[in-house]
A and B are shown apart, each in its own frame.
Chain A
Amino acid sequence: MPTFGLGTRRQQGDLRFGEKAASGKIRRSAFALMFFFQLLPASAGEVHVIANPSVTTPSISRNFARSIFGMRVQQWPYDGGSVKVFVLPDNHAVHEAFCKTVLDVFPRQMRVAWDRQVFSGTGPAPIEVETEEEVLNRVATTPGAVGYLSKEKIDEKKVRLLPIK
């Protein structure tokens, strides 16, 4: 572990000094890389909206999907059943991919909208579950439920796809 004291630096040879500068550079670029990765969305494949088989609505518009996941819709338009929304945590890669690719919004904007409704009494929060398996199981067993999953996790025997028009 090289020391960074000013006194020792003066006593050290050119080579050693160069080494140290290089290690500093590596540190800096490692930090920059970490910084960069934190800003990048974690990669997730294709994400699709899924629904409980009881939901009769054939397909939804992107705007209506935003309203449903924004917790502004309490009732399915066709059959009048209750809408129940399941989501993954804000920092989950699939949630991020869903917000950005399907809804075309940022996860933070969804959180801001939910909090505004929850603390003013004008709307409920979605039900947050930890894993995609849990999304699949909860949507499969809850009438009126809607959620999203990455393509490879969807089991069409349990849930149906809700295509975006």
Chain B
Amino acid sequence: MATVGRALLILAFALTLYGIAASLYGARTGARQWVDSGRRAMYAIAGVLTIAFAILEVAFLRSDFSYALVASHSSTTTPTFYKATAVWSSQEGSLLLWVWLLSLWSSLVLYLTRRSLREIAPIAQAVLLAFCTFFLTLVVFFESPFTALASVPSEGTGLNPLLRHPAMMFHPPALYSGYTLFTVPFAFAVGALVANRVNSEWIQGTRRFALAAWLFLGIGIVLGARWSYTELGWGGYWAWDPVENASLMPWLTGTAFIHSIMIQEKRGMLKVWNASLILATGTLAIMGTFLVRSGILDSIHAFGASTLGGPFLALIVVMIGGSVALVLWRRESLKSEHSIDSLLSREAAFIVQNIVLVGLCFVIFWGTFFPLISEAVTGTKASVGPPWFDRYVTPLAFVLVALIGIGPLISWRRATAANLRRNFTFPLAAAVVCLVALLFVSGTTEQPKALFFIPLVAFVLAGVAQELWRGTSARRAMSKEPPPIAFVSLIRRNRRRYGGYIVHAGFAILLFGVAVSSSFEHNKDVTMKPGDSARINGFDVRYARAWSEPLPEKIVFGSTLDISKEGRHVATLRTSRGFYPSQDPSLGILGRFFMGEAESEVGLRAGFGRDIWAVVNPDLLPLQRIIDEGNRTFRAAMQEALADGRADQRAIDQLFLLRDQAIAGLSNQWVRRPWESDFRLIVSPMATWIWVGAIIVFLGGAIALWPAPATARSRVTATYAAKLARDLARS
């Protein structure tokens, strides 16, 4: 089947070349049948890649080690859930996932726009097919996921222990969906510029895809943060790692784009800005993929040095050069139809918000690429750490949250004093009350970041609540519906607006969680053995007992901690470290079960008030002497069993049994004669609100993304028909 898989990739590659040629020929000659044929080529590519992906997925599920990829990323003992996700744990598999998702999203957008955007869609189609060609080139000529092994091993290496987390099922597909979806508005922006149709038509056609890209990328980022918090064993959710930053940058510019297109739709302004913004976002999405795969920057996530840096760099250069050339070429057509009326207007707030978001992106870009910049300038590679990022990001985040609150409250075009008074009194009062209340809470005055941030969050939440209240009241007055029905109808009938407001509220809550948990976190490293206690932030932590579990895929050394406060039991936490068997024979027959890759399991008691977090880091050095002795004994016994060049199967089976008993005995040492271990303990207030806020953001995003109800749509269509009729009558 590996041959079939390879053949399918070559077929898809050939189809992309045909599709590009057909689309460009159709666009140039105006022959619709060629454009349609190019579009159908994209559908065919999606179908072919679906089959190719399914073949690889089945190979992983069946542990078919004749595939090099399966042998090096899975094993018979890998749980089925992780076998399914192991497909995208490798460079080759993740590239296939990328191009497969790209083909699916591209097919969807081309299907939805098949009867509209007649001049733009053929060019956009060619651009999307060109992206598919690029990624198919990588999986056909550079990193094939279907490489077969001449000699089939009996067992595979297994999935990297750090990737064994439920988020592995959703985090990479969500991120890749975000990246690939951002290529859709990118392609249509290129189409609009080439066809010189730079009004808001292309924006309306692809707005929903930009929103979906923003939503998926956001979900991917948050899932990654959650994964980091519960799996990596360092107690944080964001480390300013280059790969994390790479996903945040397009999300920030994408957020700016989603807001600024409203100004183009309403006022015909910011055309250059919008085109540039989405072209930059598309390029940043590819740059994120480049960062993970090129190995140019040191990151805990990167796939490491590979041969793919060159092709990606070439693509990025083409994207940047092409984007700049297109915007310069169409600069006359991109002139604004209106100018800003007042600095006290929603347009001005959106523009400032856009500048802040792009500024944030620039700061992150500079800090991420600083090792390369410094090497180019000074000849020495230097890097900046989290404090440098925090220095710039924190004040910009303050401004951003303030603008999140101001945006929905201020009027379009020009805000009057009456408008400001009417809309801002309640939210400002809420912020002031919150600030005064905080001054009375002990400890807050020493944390200025939290002291100013929390009232800003109150301002945003009060503003959103006020808007929802007023909207619901107006709806009730009109329809006489009961309050809950009126509230739901209000959101249902204006999903984009109220979905956006819910996103604002969720984002403010998320940042509240970040501000409070980072300002008031307590962490402590302690060394304990069973029976010992430690104290952190008023909590007593007692090491209750040690336990071990020799499981088929790993050997687990765990600790149970009892948490209490003022004598009252609060929680029992179980934290552990699992050791996965290594395939390195030099570690010895027993040693390879204890010296392989390790993975921490965090003990976590999450709550709306605070999270209590613990991780154990057991040192296996006390077992080393017994392991070394075991290695020598088993080696000698094995040599005896294989004496005279023929294997004594009974003796070998007996040795396997003894080896398993030795492993169980060794792991039991941790329970019977436990030794001291290092622990990290963290008490993190309000951390749960980060995840609650994120869920609210995604709920709001989904509401904004969901198509308008049929009645509203038909009303829009009727309005448009009436306008068209009036225009026709005039002409």
Chains A and B form a bound pair: no
Q: Which B positions have Cβ atoms within 8 angstroms of A?
A: none
